[in-house]
């Protein structure tokens, strides 16, 4: 994913969360 306003910012999320009541959210999973 690349930020639309700040194209120098990027991320590689592990997943996306979606529901009918909220906006799409990114999911980051960390393993100890």
- DSSP codes joined into one string, the chain: -B-SS-TT-B---SEEE--SSS--EEE-----
pLDDT computed for residue 1 by the predictor: 76
Looking at residue 27, its pLDDT comes to 87
Cα dihedral angle (2, 11, 14, 29), rounded to 10 degrees?
A: -150
| Mean pLDDT, 10 residues at a time, the chain of 32 residues | 86 88 88 82
pLDDT score of 13: 85
* Predicted local distance difference test score (pLDDT) of residue 2: 83
């Amino acid at each position: 994913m690349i930020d639309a306003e700040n194209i120098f910012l990027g991320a590689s999320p592990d997943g996306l969360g979606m529901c009918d009541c909220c906006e799409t959210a990114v999911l980051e999973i960390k393993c100890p």
